[in-house]
Amino acid sequence: MPKPLVRSGAEIDGYAIGECVHAGGMATLWTVTHPGIDVPLLMKIPRVSEGEDPAAIVSFEMEMMILPRLAGPHVPACFGTGDFARQAYVVIERIPGVTLYKRLPDLPLPYDEARQLVAKIATALADLHRQNVIHHDIKPSSIMFRDSGEAVLIDYGLSHHNHLPDLLQEEFRLPYGTAPYMAPERLLGVRDDPRSDLFSLGVLLYFFTTGERPFGEGETLRAMRRRLWRDPHPPRKLRADYPPWLQEVVLRCLEIEPVWRYPTASQLAFDLAHPDQVKLTARSERVKRDPLSVAWRRRFNQGALAPRAKSDVAAQIASSPILAVALDTVEGAPELNEALRVTTERILATLPSARLACVNVLKLNRIAIDRTLDEQGSNKHIDRLVALRHWATPLKLDESRLSAHVLEAVDPAAAILEFAEANQVDHVIIGARQSSFRRTLLGSVSAKVASEATCTVTVVRPPRMAGDVDGADAGEMAG
């Protein structure tokens, strides 16, 4: 009988096999080294022995196809794969630390700690979805954190890639995943909707803030199907001090119909980063589940079980961007602010699920002491928030799609760039002003934003400035 290829001391394709550090239900993990790679490595090997679940082989095929296509801080770097002809494997970086599963004994976590934790996971999901991948197994044991703070999503055997064959969908009728975290539509065979991951993340947030899973521990298909018509107990029923804004976020993630959830992980991360900006609805006040009459209507509504049109991950994300418009509410020319509003309105008209952040920078002095009140005794910060809301009123946006932010900074351009980066803004709309000596001396805010932003930037001029050179006064976002 031939010796197995995978054992301590063996070598596969130049990788020296070390010790087995984990034996899971579908794969094992081994430490490996390679003379040309100077980072800690793990080799993942599928279970293919007699009696093993055949889904383990198919899911490993999916992981071998998907992992090499991923990049960035939120996924483990992939260094190589091997096929089933000799030995199937995937070699990935070994991320220091443990998974989020180790935090379960600490539950429930303090609300703010859970908020920050899940915001990082939502940011990682947003990055994954932009790479055309839906994870489909978001749970504590699939999440790690780098020393630098970024969440890392691991285990892609159940994932769906928008540009690759979905082998699990093609070969198996039953849904694969972790029962307590599985989205309702997964039970109907839907695997191409990124909002399924947001449902799973909502389950995690509920669990980490209440200590209880919203749908219990049932793992039978019958138990799981209940979530197609039965909503969970609102968190406020379990914890009287549960913040209304947090319940709003959690229950929106756990909506049965995907269309009522957050449209993107980026928008979920935005709300978690700005809890004071969360629009409260009836969700935030609930202390009871939907009445049985509502649940029974859902159960026997045959339309809810109808086949759904195929989704496109990239198209869905593109239709739900986060826009930021940078405004000068104090010294900005009325014509420029009106031009900004017209441009913003045109962009929003084509993006019904977009979110708009209205931003103003309260410029701080480099040396002198800054005063919070103006000459009339009014609070500058509050006045600007009110002015931003007033500017946005004609846009007639639902409050859940609108937020206002007054940033305080010495450098307005740097503040706008930092806001855009931290909040995964997809498009910055900023105004340009007429030429001035100050702009020539200190540089242009809009030029700096346009040249350094990692997202789309639109620089706007009112018609009367059409003949000027693009640019903006260094103080144009302040006042």
Q: How high is the pLDDT of residue 235?
A: 98
Helix or strand or coil: residue 91?
strand
Question: Contact 135/125 with Cβ under 8 angstroms?
Answer: yes
Closest among 215, 205, 27 to 125, alpha carbons compared: 205
DSSP state of 371: -
Token duo for residue 176: 């694969």
Residues near 41 by beta carbon (within 8 Å), at least 6 away in sequence: 15, 31, 32, 33, 34, 79, 91, 92, 93, 94
Q: How high is the pLDDT of residue 181?
A: 95
Q: How high is the pLDDT of residue 363?
A: 82
Dist CA 156 CA 158 (whole Å): 6
Domains of the chain by start residue, with CATH: 11-93 (3.30.200.20), 100-302+312-317 (1.10.510.10), 321-465 (3.40.50.620)
Question: Contact 379/372 with Cβ under 8 angstroms?
Answer: yes
pLDDT along the chain (479 residues), means of 10: 70 95 87 95 84 77 96 97 91 95 97 98 98 97 96 96 89 82 92 96 98 86 87 96 98 96 97 96 94 85 55 84 91 86 95 94 68 64 91 93 92 94 96 60 77 95 57 39
The amino acid occupying position 29 is L
- Angle at alpha carbon of residue 187, lines to 246 and 142, rounded to 5°: 55
Q: What is the 3-state secondary structure (H, E, C) of 184-245?
A: HHHHHCCCCCCHHHHHHHHHHHHHHHHCCCCCCCCCCHHHHHHHHCCCCCCHHHHCCCCCHH
Entry pTM: 0.89
Half-sphere exposure of 75 (CA within 13 A, CB side): 24
Q: Quick count: other Cβ atoms within 10 Å of Cβ 72?
A: 13
Dist CA 190 CA 224 (whole Å): 15
Q: How high is the pLDDT of residue 169?
A: 83
DSSP state of 373: B
108 preceded by a cis bond (ω within 30 of 0): yes
- Write phi, then psi, for 81 (nearest 5 degrees): -140, 155
Q: How high is the pLDDT of residue 52?
A: 61
Q: How high is the pLDDT of residue 263?
A: 96
Q: How high is the pLDDT of residue 360?
A: 93
Q: How high is the pLDDT of residue 438?
A: 46
Q: How high is the pLDDT of residue 442?
A: 43
Dist CA 439 CA 445 (whole Å): 9
Dist CA 215 CA 221 (whole Å): 13
